[in-house]
Amino acid sequence: MTDKELNYQELGLKCGLEIHQQLETGKLFCRCPSVLRKDEPDFSVRRKLHAVAGESGEVDVAAAYQASLGKEFEYQGYNDVACLVDLDEEPPRELNRAALKIALQISILLNAKIVPLTQIMRKTVVDGSNTSGFQRTVLIARDGFIETSQGRIGIETVCLEEDSARIVSDGVFKLDRLGIPLVEIATKPEIKNPEQAKEVALHLGGILRSCNVRRGLGTIRQDVNLSVKNGKRIELKGFQDIRNVEVAIEKEVERQVGLVKNGESVSEVRKVLPNGKSEFLRPMPGAARMYPETDLLLLKISRDFINESKKTLPKLKSEADEEFEKEGLSQEMISLLLKQSKVEEFKELLGIVKNPALVAKVLLVFPKEIAKREKMPLNLVEEKLTKDVISNVLDNLKRKKISEGDVKNVLAKIVRGEDFVKAVKVRKAASMNDVEVKIMSFIKEKPGLSMNAYMGLVMKEFKGGVDGKIIMEIIKKYVG
């Protein structure tokens, strides 16, 4: 172990990570929803891009390289998730405030200093993945840090930017992903060895997942920047699996050491292969790639907005654990809430009914049970049980219109497509008064039965439409 560390130190490894994470909001510069589609596109548009002179007057190396391919690009779009802004046919709309808020929260969690006055920039990209020929990006915060077991690693910048169009095949892109907000976190080149790189990647992933970010394949992407003594800077892209970070760095360092010996180290962008090796992707982009987005005003991030973002700052897992344990939640529930990113929802619903166990069940257990019972896919069930629906049901519980035991049934009815008012009203039909009268008459008619037998009779009478707990309590009043 120590041998290896010494080794990297001697080799002069300079390594930093760049993480791109999609945010769970609509698009950044238009009002389209962020939805990826698999079905046939509604339209397609053909475009060409041209090399443009950068600010120094020189045509950018990477830009020139791409444009020299002289390609025509096809963009496929869906009417409901790609608008004229995505088609480069309308100027950008104002930056999405919800996305900015999440970017600020991430910046705060990374101990970074927020830039109060900042300009939205255009970063030249001519590989066809942006219809405009550039990616909009804005510096949100700088100079943060995270702690690792091997010491502090600086966070160079936190930027908010728009995602690119999704490549379908050579020269063909889908517009659904274009414009989805991304937070880009760049660490300082202070990572000492592959092991620490992996730790940093996991740590940053944990912070991001505690915030309102998108989940699933392709929603987070990691790049590694590295160089060794006397070598040129290399960018490694396209990690399918975070576990590959460690291996890929090891292999690239080995390769670089060999190249440096022969004086052959060249600055380039490389694509990581599943086996941890990498292949040439494109030359390193030049420096002259950024110029202002002239269609938008300067972005001013006010004190008030920063404070507002702080108020709803998500808890990191470790902090959340403590708080939820106090609420009496099991470790399993806590980690499920965190994993499924339902912490915010949980807290909000807890504001309606102060019953952590029930709220956790409503969010984590009931949907699965309902899905099983109704033979429906879980995502469809969760789609129907929006936060509004759940808060309405819990509100009815709070106002004693329904009882705790009814909650699951009401939710199931809503999933089945029953109208909300009706789903809740059924409870009202069997008023507790009626139930109590009925129980009394059963006991009078058939004296001497067990409590469970009376229970069975009552349940049969009300076809399961009444909370068993309450029935049992009433029965207990008269029997035993």
Partner 1 sequence: MEKTNAVPGDYVELSLVNRDYQGVFLESPENEKGIVLLKLDSGYNIGFVKKEVMEVKVLKKAEEKIEELEIKKNSEKPNVAMIITGGTIAARLNPSKGGVDWLDNPASLFKFYPEIFKLVNVSKVEVPFMKASEDMDFKDWQKIARVAVKLLNDTNVKGIIITHGTDFLHYTSAALSFFLKDLNKPVVLTYSQRSIDRASSDANLNLQCSALAAISDIAEVMLVGHASENDDFCFAMPGAKVRKLHTSRRDAFKVVNGKPFAKIFTDKVINVSEYNQRKKGKIKADTSFEEKVALVKIYPGQNPEILDYYLKKKYKGIVLEMSGLGHAPGKRARNSWISKLKEVQKRGLIVCATSQCINGRVDPLVYSNGRELLETGIIYLEDMLSETALVKLGWILGHKEWAKNRDAVKAKMLENIVGEISDRLEN
Question: What are the residues binding partner 1 (CB under 8 A)?
Answer: 45-57, 63, 67, 72, 84, 87-91, 115, 117-119, 121-124, 126, 131-134, 137-139, 157, 159, 287-292, 294, 297-298
The DSSP letter of residue 406 is G
* Least Cβ distance, residue 277 to partner 1 (angstroms): 30
* Least Cβ distance, residue 134 to partner 1 (angstroms): 6
One-letter amino acid of 280: F
Query: Collapsing DSSP states into helix, strand and coil, what is residue 47?
Result: strand
Count CA atoms within 13 Å of residue 172 on its CB side: 8
* Least Cβ distance, residue 95 to partner 1 (angstroms): 15
Cβ proximity to partner 1: between 282 and 317 the closer is: 282
Cβ proximity to partner 1: between 49 and 381 the closer is: 49
* Least Cβ distance, residue 305 to partner 1 (angstroms): 16
- Is residue 234 within 8 A of residue 360, CB to CB? The reply is no
Segments in 210-330 forming alpha helices (H): 244-261, 303-311, 317-326
* Least Cβ distance, residue 381 to partner 1 (angstroms): 40
At 28, list the tokens.
């950044």
* Least Cβ distance, residue 22 to partner 1 (angstroms): 21
Cβ proximity to partner 1: between 57 and 448 the closer is: 57
- Is residue 160 within 8 A of residue 99, CB to CB? The reply is yes
Cβ proximity to partner 1: between 84 and 365 the closer is: 84
CA distance 131 to 385: 37
Count CA atoms within 13 Å of residue 254 on its CB side: 11
CA distance 233 to 223: 13
- Is residue 412 within 8 A of residue 390, CB to CB? The reply is no
Cβ proximity to partner 1: between 55 and 434 the closer is: 55
Cβ proximity to partner 1: between 103 and 334 the closer is: 103
One-letter amino acid of 227: S
* Least Cβ distance, residue 254 to partner 1 (angstroms): 30
CA distance 84 to 87: 5
Cβ proximity to partner 1: between 48 and 446 the closer is: 48
- Is residue 35 within 8 A of residue 24, CB to CB? The reply is no
* Least Cβ distance, residue 176 to partner 1 (angstroms): 17
Which residues are within 8 A (CB) of 61 and not within 5 positions of it... i.e. 6 or more apart? 283, 284, 285, 286
Cβ proximity to partner 1: between 61 and 126 the closer is: 126
